[in-house]
Amino acid sequence: MHRRIVLVALLAAVLLVPLGASAQKPIKVGMPMPLSGPAALFGEPASKGAQMFIDELNARGGVLGRKLELIVRDSKADANEAVRQARELILKDNVDFLVGTLTSAEGPAVSVVAKENKIVFIAPIPKTDQLTAPDKLHPYVFRVASTTTIEGRSAAEIVAKWPVTKVATISFDYAYGQDVTKAFVDHLKKIKPSVEIVDQQWPKLGEQDYNPFINAQMAKKPEAVMSSIWGGFFVTFSKQARALGYFDAIKYNFIGLGEAGSPETTKSMRDDYPVGIWGNSYDAFYWGESAAHRDYTTRLSKYLRDEYPSSWAVQGYIGMQVLTEAIKKANSTDSDKVAKALLGLTVETPVGPLTIREKDHQANRGQLYGKTVMDPKYPFAIMKPVTYVDPTKFMD
């Protein structure tokens, strides 16, 4: 039995040796992102976008004469796992910065790790207001994603223009769903007092059977619906809703937040997509507003070897871009200096200039909105006309 302990020691020695070797040269960025489970749909392209930025940057010689190195770890869309990976990235891989996380549970949890280790953390995707709320804010957390306030209010502005008064909502019963729905309802009631909220449905996160919720909602006869059911779940929801004649009943007065209008979703559903509804997205390869965006899309398309590249890659890209600009401005990789440099920093991104506010470390990141139509150029629906809704006026 005791000889086993010798074995333990040997095993430990063998396994630990490679860990000791670490090169000092490149600037290391750790990225906890969901690479498995349903959220991998966004996590994977976001990490690819970040990698593309780094590859391009390193080809140009890097920043401050040093190359950037991205280390991606699977956070499984789970707060516990994200914290675990973030801590290991800091302790084992000695990363200088953290860029990552996806869900509204992961973001705030990793933010705490960043605070404790005094390491700059840039969140490219989580939208929950709690991440940068005054009681949670600390010098090292920044966000280049949109927020639930911005998203909810942008949608309210659109719905307010529709000739409807009876509005209903359907969202998942957790932080993101609740926050975005509240922002939407509050703002809509403020700008159009005649609106009446006739029904609110709260399926649990990851629900697979929406039939009871859809039937209950149709019974209340709303004229328009706001949904924040995201990603693959929107595919499930809209397939079931369409079969029940839900979209016909509300005359396609439906706005799908949580990127229901993203090319990934319309592409995977093709003819099954409820064409005619409104949706939003972080990016769309067909947007092409500026030369910078067209150029970015071409490069991304080549990088991912995909004719219709992902709309999520841009969030990873922007996250890395903002970090790099801050390192350049601080002329240092020290987190305290970079954190200071990030305040008020303006960066020319593929989606236009973004500024990190000093007040709450939040970038003015809006999203694309539009009504979906079939376009003969593509075998799936696109948002047309697609508009970037500037969030500045929605930010408190």
Partner 1 sequence: MMTRLGRAPWPLLVVALALLVPAVGSRFYTFLANDVLIWALFATSLNLLVGYTGLVSFGHAAYFGIGAYTTGILMKKLAVPFVLAFPAAGIFAGLAALVFGFFCVRLTRIYFAMLTLAFAQIVWAICFKWNEVTGGEQGMPEIPYPALDWMDRLPWVGDLRTSDHFYLLTVLLVALCLWALRRIVGSPFGRILTTIRENPERAEFIGVNVRRYELIAFVVAGAFAGLAGGLFGIFNRGVFPDFAYWTKSSEVLIMTLLGGMGTFYGPPLGALALILLNQQIVSYTEYWPFVLGTILVVLLFVFPGGLAGAAGIVSRRLARALRA
Partner 2 sequence: MLRVLNFAHGTFYMLGAYTTYQFVQWVGGGPGLFWLAALGGALAVAALGGLVERLLFRHLYGKEELYQLLFTYALVLILSDAAKMLWGTQQKSVSRPPELSGAFTLFGATIPSYNLLIILLGPAIALGFWLTLQRTRVGRFIRAAALDRETLGALGVDVDALYTWIFMLASFLGGLGGALISPMRAITPGMDTEIIVEAFVVVVIGGLGSFWGTFFGALIYGQVLSFGILFFPRFSIFAVFALMAAVLMVRPWGLLGRPLQ
With CB under 8 A as the contact rule, which of the stretches 24-32, 66-74, 250-258, 286-294 interacts with partner 1? 66-74
Work out whether 80 is an interface residue with partner 2 (CB under 8 A).
no
Size of the site for partner 1 (CB under 8 A): 39
Note the residue count of the chain. 396
Question: Which one of residues 25, 55, 116, 190 is an interface residue with partner 1 (CB under 8 A)?
Answer: 116
Bridge partners (DSSP) of residue 224 are: 167
Integer Cα distance of 99 and 21 in angstroms: 24
With CB under 8 A as the contact rule, which of the stretches 109-117, 237-245, 249-257, 268-276 interacts with partner 1? 109-117
**Dmax over Cα atoms in the chain, in whole Å?**
80
State the pairing for strand pair 346-349/224-227: unpaired
Work out whether 112 is an interface residue with partner 1 (CB under 8 A).
yes
Is the Cβ–Cβ distance between 370 and 148 less than 8 Å? no
For partner 2, the closer of residues 312 and 394 by Cβ is: 312
Work out whether 174 is an interface residue with partner 1 (CB under 8 A).
yes
Question: Which one of residues 28, 44, 142, 188 is an interface residue with partner 2 (CB under 8 A)?
Answer: 44
Integer Cα distance of 279 and 296 in angstroms: 23
Question: Which one of residues 95, 155, 175, 382 is an interface residue with partner 1 (CB under 8 A)?
Answer: 175
Residue carrying the six token digits 């539009």? 370
Work out whether 59 is an interface residue with partner 1 (CB under 8 A).
no
- Residues numbered 169-208 forming contacts with partner 2, rule: CB under 8 A: 173, 202, 204, 206, 208
The runs of H, that is alpha helices, within 104-192 are 106-117, 148-160, 175-191
Question: 208 touches which of partner 1, partner 2, none (CB within 5 to 8 A by kind)?
Answer: partner 2
Work out whether 12 is an interface residue with partner 1 (CB under 8 A).
yes
Q: Which of 149, 83, 93 is nearest to 121 (CA)?
A: 83
Amino acid identity, residue 141? V
State the pairing for strand pair 367-374/381-383: antiparallel
Is the Cβ–Cβ distance between 106 and 141 less than 8 Å? no
Integer Cα distance of 245 and 104 in angstroms: 32
Residues that bind partner 1 (CB under 8 A): 1-5, 7-9, 11-12, 15-16, 18-19, 35-36, 72-74, 78-81, 83-84, 87-88, 91-92, 104-105, 108-109, 112-113, 116, 174-175, 205
Residues that bind partner 2 (CB under 8 A): 35-38, 40-41, 43-44, 173, 202, 204, 206, 208, 211-212, 215, 231-236, 239-240, 243-245, 264-265, 268-272
